[in-house]
Amino acid sequence: MADELGRKWDRCLADTALKTATGVGIGIVFSVLFFKRRTWPVSFGSGLGLGMGYSNCQHDFRSPYLIHGHVVKDQ
């Protein structure tokens, strides 16, 4: 149980880095292809990537506390 936290952190950081990089890349691509080499797609993409990574990370840390509800239909 104590190791879980460490593992989570590893996953989280890796995931975030990956996503950010991916975002940056896609941003560059888009910037080059569609937006005349503006910087905003890059920052947008990086932000997108960071955000996704952050969200995933948070979700991962929250997962033990999340309650999953099921809709019960009256038969």
Sites of contact with another protein (CB under 8 A): 1-2, 5, 54, 57-58, 61-62, 64-65
Question: Residue with structure tokens 């969200």?
Answer: 55
Q: How far is the CB of 72 from another protein (least distance, A)?
A: 24
Select from 63, 59, 25 the least CA-distant residue to 45: 25
CA distance 53 to 22: 11
Q: How far is the CB of 53 from another protein (least distance, A)?
A: 10
Closer to another protein by CB, 16 or 31: give it: 16
Closer to another protein by CB, 62 or 68: give it: 62
Distance of CA 70 to the CA centre of its chain: 26
Select from 61, 66, 46 the least CA-distant residue to 12: 61
Closer to another protein by CB, 39 or 58: give it: 58
